[in-house]
Amino acid sequence: MVCNEEINLKKGWNHYCTGLNLLFKNDTIWGFYIGCPCKTHDIHYSKEGTFCRKTADFLLRKNIQKQGVIQERIILAFFVSWFAWFAVRPIGIFIWKTWSSFKVPRYQ
């Protein structure tokens, strides 16, 4: 699985961060793109996911922080990662393993 901001936005795959798209556009928070960590998190939350919910949410936080290193926005990534973690922990219990990412082009 390869994730690329330019390709995702070009193909209209700009809402991996479910719920955050109500506040921010194109999986971007103050110029910081977190679509790729959210894409991975979505796959972990799907029926095909291989992690428990707690681990999937932890990995989301860590992957956003890694994205911050890549984009040279470490401090912003730290705060965004915790914001995302606090958002997904209580809500995720209702959508954990309830949908399939199998054969959906945006998740390949």
**In this structure, is residue 105 part of a structural domain?**
no
Backbone dihedral angles phi then psi of residue 32, each to the nearest 5 degrees: -110, 115
Domain interval for residue 72: 8-98
pTM of the model: 0.89
**In this structure, is residue 63 part of a structural domain?**
yes
**In this structure, is residue 23 part of a structural domain?**
yes
**In this structure, is residue 1 part of a structural domain?**
no
Q: pLDDT tens, 1-29?
A: 578 888 888 888 888 887 777 778 888 88
Contact 60, 88 (CB under 8 A): yes
Q: pLDDT tens, 19-63?
A: 777 778 888 888 899 999 999 999 999 999 999 999 999 999 999
**In this structure, is residue 18 part of a structural domain?**
yes
Provide the number of structural domains found in the chain: 1
Distances 16 to 49, 75, 91 between C-alpha atoms, Å = 15, 22, 15
**In this structure, is residue 22 part of a structural domain?**
yes
Q: What is the rounded distance in angstroms from the CA atom of residue 55 to the CA atom of residue 75?
A: 23
**In this structure, is residue 108 part of a structural domain?**
no
